[in-house]
Structure 1
Amino acid sequence: MQEDFLHYIWKHKKIGVNNLKTVNGAPVVINSVGQHNYNSGPDFFNAQLKIGNQLWAGNVEIHIKSSDWFLHNHEQDKAYDNVILHVVWEDDTEVFRKDNSVIPTLELKNIVDDGLLHNFERLFAKQNKWINCENDFAIIDSFILDNWLERLYFERLERKSKNIETLLAGSKNDWEAVLFKMLTRNFGLKVNGESFFSLAQSIDFSIIRKTRNTPLVLEALLLGQSGLLEQDVEDAYHLSLKKEYEFLKLKFNLNNTQVLPLQFFRLRPPNFPTIRLSQLASLYGTNQNLFSKIIEIKKLEEFYELFKVSTSKFWESHYTFQKKSKTSKKTLTKSFVDLLLINTILPLKFSYAKQKGEEIDNEIIKLATSITSEKNNIIKAFNNLKKVSNSSLHSQALIQLKSEYCDKNKCLQCAIGNSLISANA
């Protein structure tokens, strides 16, 4: 038995609400189960109950056994003085408040539906499963699943908003600076994301504003600050970038000792940091007030147009400074822009609207559902159970589901788990 399951039973009134009685035979009428408390203190606040002939308003505490009250030292804690009902699976002792008055106890083990208990035990059965509900995931009602995924998507946006708020506080509420840090991280993808972010953190955005109008200067700033100009290379473009960076380093008192090393190993050449940083420089060199443009855009096609940037001329025939390659225009691909939209643009638009008190949920949903689903092991595994991910809204929601619910066994707080436990019970 899990205490979380008892919380679920009480919260959703999964007991016969008629003819409930305390262990001492007093009738119990539930007017309100109260507000579920996930922090310290009683499990449910402000419940409204009628016990015997007396109306009560107060808190409800839930345990597997009555004796857990003393095991947790609640009899010594003032926070539990206002408990009006003790709900337990098994009553094994009387429980008293600090003033020695008896707390009424409701025992559940003989009044919970057998089908409900069977479904709970089946869901949490100790088996070698990827997720607890994998045997039943395919039969989940589509209406329940679609609504739950939409809610999970916004849950994930809320989580990302907290990270954005932290960046905003560290950037003196400069949204353009926050955008630059987030975009830089995502230009680095998974392999170089943290290195690129440390690069962005090492440059005050005012310097980006001052250098963005000259492509060579901005590219020299990014490549030099990342450490990519430190080698001695006999190439005219490398030498011109290095000379420019040395000037910038003195002018702006730049320090790159905290910038993390970049990786080339196991990367496809189009994802080499040299290429991505040149593309990033091109993006900022051709767009003034990029953040304002992003906030104004509402159509996916306009985002693709905005991010239609490529490298400087040198990188059309190079992937590194040391070796020449076949000439090709290295433009940001649609799939790469999709990742920028998923991980930077939509969370930023959501967070900005939230701060302004504006409602743009429908705009976010429209954009998220028009972007192709991500492809990774989590999405593949869910799709193998049931073809469910048709857009980035779904893929982001499924990542949230796996990381925040499945991996943490929070089935009782999940709409899918709830539907399976309640089925035919």
Structure 2
Amino acid sequence: MKEDFLHYIWQFKNFDFTKLHTTQGEKLLIINSGQYLQKAGPDFFNAQIVIGTQKWAGNIEIHLKSSDWYVHHHETDPNYENVILHVVWEHDTEVFRKDNTEIAVLELKEYVSNKVLENYQSLIASKTWIFCENEIDSIDEFFFKNWLERLFFERLEKKYQPIEKLFSATIKDWEAVLFCLLAKNFGLNTNGETFFKIANSIPFQKIRKESFDVQNLEAMFYGRAGLFMKECEDFYFTELKERWEYLLQKHDLKKVYVEPMQFFKHRPDNFPTIRLSQLANLYHSRQNLFSDMMEAETLLEFYEIFNIAASDYWDDHYQFDKRSPKKKKKLTNSFIDLLLINTVVPLKFAYAGSQGNDVSEQMIRLLADIPAEKNSIIDKFHSFGITAKNAYETQSLLQLKNEYCNKKRCLECAIGLELMKS
């Protein structure tokens, strides 16, 4: 048994609270069980109870055993001086405040039904993947969809935190934030952090100035990536390297490099040379990329914005000085979908919030038009009867698995709470 079960019992009054008595034998009446804020200090704040004939207002602390009060050193912590009731599963010792006054104790095990215990034990019994895997497909569809919506916005809010941090780091320049986030996602998992460092190392005003010449952008990206450090007789390599040396002087850039790019295990279309060229062409073709993205609403509008390809040189190259069969290196719709999910939607949500606007429904509609993501987590949910129809639902399921199932927060999950009632 864990304390979160006792928190659940107390929060939802899932016990016989009609004839309560403290361990000291006094009658106990709960007027208000308090607010479950999950912050430092007592578990429930601003509760109201009556013990005997005396009404009390204050906080509630919950433990498995009353002796845990001393294990956690609450007797010396001023945050716990206003505790009016100690709720425990098992009472094994009296508890006193710092001023030596005794705290009333409620022993919950006397008032919780066997059925509630059985439901809890069934929910947390060992399973192959998640605790509710045998019951999750029995949850009412309307109820499940409402929970998915909340999970979706929880995930967006979590993605907002690094955006807010980046916004401050870029001196509140939303265009610079977009550039850094796009760069990271153009690099995918393998080169994402490296691409991010490249973008972060070039002041965005320099990108604005050079965006009218795509080769200058490529030169800055490849130069910062250290791709010009080797010797190569390729004409395009030589031209871009010369531009890089010129741009270093022009913009007074420090000659520093990020860690080496990863080519190994990548499909050639995902080679960093190709992705950096596509990123350069995106900023060359869209001088007002941030405003274009903030104004766009439909999937087709975004596909049009991202309708770009790598420079012509890369039609028959994947690396410098190595020819390959000719192929235009355009962004695919599936890659654009990833950019929308991981960059555009979180950024639009954050930007709208900063302007006092609500784009919640717009974000749901956009991701509902994007095909469901394919990964091992979504496949596993499918094996238990939960089939995601679109990216909106896959994002919600990823939040469910990562933030609730993996962390065993069943009693904070709407699905777990619903199963406890059944």
- TM tier, smaller: over 0.9
Distance (whole Å) between structure 2 residues aligned to residue 327 and residue 144 of structure 1: 52
Q: Confirm whether residue 22 of structure 1 aligns to residue 22 of structure 2.
A: yes
Q: Structure 2 unaligned runs (5+)?
A: none
Q: Which amino acid aligns with 2:410?
A: C
Residue 256 of structure 1: CA displacement? Answer: 5.3
Distance (whole Å) between structure 1 residues aligned to residue 67 and residue 145 of structure 2: 42
Between the two proteins, the alignment pairs up a number of residues equal to: 422
Instruction: After superposition, give the CA deviation of every residue in 1:50-83 in whole Å (9 maximum; x if it has no partner).
Output: 2222222110011111222222222222221211
Q: Tell me whether 25-34 or 169-178 shows the greater mean CA deviation.
A: 25-34
* 1:76 corresponding residue in structure 2: 76
Cα pair 1:32 1:49 within 8 Å, conserved: yes
Q: Which amino acid aligns with 2:104?
A: P
Residue 267 of structure 1: CA displacement? Answer: 0.9
Cα pair 1:198 1:260 within 8 Å, conserved: no
Distance (whole Å) between structure 2 residues aligned to residue 339 and residue 176 of structure 1: 19
* 1:262 corresponding residue in structure 2: 261
* 1:390 corresponding residue in structure 2: 389
Distance (whole Å) between structure 2 residues aligned to residue 261 and residue 254 of structure 1: 19
Give TM-score scaled by structure 2 length. Answer: 0.96
Q: 1:212 to 1:134 in 2, by over 3 A?
A: same
Q: Tell me whether 265-274 or 232-241 shows the greater mean CA deviation.
A: 232-241
* 2:276 corresponding residue in structure 1: 277
Q: Confirm whether residue 58 of structure 1 aligns to residue 58 of structure 2.
A: yes
Q: Which amino acid aligns with 2:102?
A: V
Q: Which amino acid aligns with 1:314?
A: Y
Cα pair 1:60 1:83 within 8 Å, conserved: yes
Q: Structure 1 unaligned runs (5+)?
A: none
Q: Confirm whether residue 303 of structure 1 aligns to residue 305 of structure 2.
A: no
Q: Confirm whether residue 354 of structure 1 aligns to residue 377 of structure 2.
A: no
* 2:327 corresponding residue in structure 1: 328
Residue 250 of structure 1: CA displacement? Answer: 1.9
Q: Tell me whether 310-319 or 256-265 shows the greater mean CA deviation.
A: 256-265
Distance (whole Å) between structure 1 residues aligned to residue 168 and residue 69 of structure 2: 43
Distance (whole Å) between structure 1 residues aligned to residue 357 and residue 213 of structure 2: 36
* 2:229 corresponding residue in structure 1: 230
* 1:3 corresponding residue in structure 2: 3
* 1:135 corresponding residue in structure 2: 134
Q: Tell me whether 332-341 or 378-387 shows the greater mean CA deviation.
A: 378-387
Q: Which amino acid aligns with 1:169?
A: S
* 2:202 corresponding residue in structure 1: 203
Cα pair 1:198 1:258 within 8 Å, conserved: no
Aligned-partner SS, 2:177: helix
Residue 294 of structure 1: CA displacement? Answer: 0.9
Cα pair 1:199 1:260 within 8 Å, conserved: no
* 1:155 corresponding residue in structure 2: 154
Distance (whole Å) between structure 2 residues aligned to residue 86 and residue 233 of structure 1: 74
Cα pair 1:221 1:248 within 8 Å, conserved: yes
Instruction: After superposition, give the CA deviation of every residue in 1:66-104 in whole Å (9 maximum; x if it has no partner).
Output: 222222222222221211111111122222223333222
Q: Tell me whether 253-262 or 42-51 shows the greater mean CA deviation.
A: 253-262
Cα pair 1:227 1:256 within 8 Å, conserved: no
Residue 109 of structure 1: CA displacement? Answer: 0.6
| Structure 1 residues 92-241: aligned runs within 5 Å | 92-125=92-125, 127=126, 129-241=128-240
Aligned-partner SS, 2:325: coil
Distance (whole Å) between structure 2 residues aligned to residue 33 and residue 145 of structure 1: 28
Instruction: After superposition, give the CA deviation of every residue in 1:193-226 in whole Å (9 maximum; x if it has no partner).
Output: 1111111111111110110001121111112221
Distance (whole Å) between structure 2 residues aligned to residue 43 and residue 421 of structure 1: 21
Aligned-partner SS, 2:49: strand
Cα pair 1:371 1:392 within 8 Å, conserved: yes
Q: Which amino acid aligns with 1:102?
A: E
Aligned-partner SS, 2:319: coil
Residue 277 of structure 1: CA displacement? Answer: 0.8
Distance (whole Å) between structure 1 residues aligned to residue 390 and residue 339 of structure 2: 15
Cα pair 2:224 2:257 within 8 Å, conserved: no
Root-mean-square deviation (Å)? 1.5
Residue 24 of structure 1: CA displacement? Answer: 3.2
Distance (whole Å) between structure 1 residues aligned to residue 98 and residue 244 of structure 2: 71
Residue 164 of structure 1: CA displacement? Answer: 0.3
Distance (whole Å) between structure 2 residues aligned to residue 211 and residue 203 of structure 1: 12
